[in-house]
């Protein structure tokens, strides 16, 4: 991982889709009037770029973890700004754990446990590809997959949340997962 010079921003930029997916997973609807998930990710990347000298890791996995924590802090700050006095904001520890759990679920979608450094690096690359592929899906398909596969919501709950029938959600999932497989297919 090379974080020196002009490569700093492009290195951070490779995590945009991953952070976007995590931001959507943990979005607080009270923030709608203040910003959207894309704004949160942009703020996170900008602050990370400004404070890159504070990053103490040396691998992409460590950088992803550091960026997740930067995003958690930005999300908490945003929620605090829109909270009415006396309102209850999510606790930092709870939000951090939820973001970590979502990241683990994403990794679980990819493969069984892998142990060697080269296998972990390949898994991290697949995770980034998965997040980028999810970004390419139409919003309804992406949202259905995110809620059902990553947040482990039942089909009925996803249907209620999206204001659609279960059959419609099943169709979104089928088409979305099919498109994901196409996007993630290795070129022959």
**pLDDT of res. 166:** 95
Length of the chain in terms of residues written? 188
**pLDDT of res. 35:** 74
pLDDT digits (tens, 9 = 90+) for 96-155: 555 566 555 555 544 444 455 566 556 667 777 888 888 899 999 998 998 888 778 899
DSSP SS3 for 20:
helix
Q: What residues does CATH 1.10.10 cover in the chain?
A: 137-188
pLDDT digits (tens, 9 = 90+) for 43-66: 999 999 898 888 888 888 888 888
Query: Domain 137-188 classified CATH 3.40.1620?
Result: no
CA–CA distances in Å: residue 87 to residues 10, 40, 84, 128: 39, 21, 5, 36
Per the confidence metrics, is the pTM higher than 0.85? no
**DSSP state, residue 88:** -
Tell me which of 15-19, 108-112, 141-145, 172-176 is least confident.
108-112
**pLDDT of res. 138:** 94
90 contacts 76 by C-beta, under 8 angstroms: yes
C-alpha 144/C-alpha 30 separation (Å) is 21
């Amino acid at each position: 991982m090379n974080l020196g010079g002009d490569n700093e921003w492009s290195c951070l930029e490779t995590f945009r889709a991953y952070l976007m997916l995590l931001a959507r997973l943990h979005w607080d609807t009270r923030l709608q009037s203040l910003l959207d998930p894309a704004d949160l990710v942009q703020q996170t990347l900008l602050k990370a770029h400004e404070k890159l000298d504070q990053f103490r890791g040396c691998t992409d996995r460590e950088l992803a973890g550091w960026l997740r924590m930067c995003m958690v802090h930005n999300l908490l700050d945003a929620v605090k700004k829109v909270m009415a006095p006396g309102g209850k904001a999510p606790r930092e520890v709870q939000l951090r754990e939820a973001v970590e759990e979502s990241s683990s679920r994403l990794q679980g979608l990819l493969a069984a446990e892998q142990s060697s450094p080269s296998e972990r690096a390949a898994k991290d690359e697949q995770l980034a590809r998965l997040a980028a592929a999810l970004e390419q899906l139409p919003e309804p398909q992406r949202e259905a997959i995110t809620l059902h596969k990553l947040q482990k919501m039942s089909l009925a709950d996803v249907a209620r949340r999206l204001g659609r029938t279960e059959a419609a959600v099943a169709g979104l999932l089928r088409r979305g997962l099919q498109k994901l497989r196409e996007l993630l297919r290795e070129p022959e």
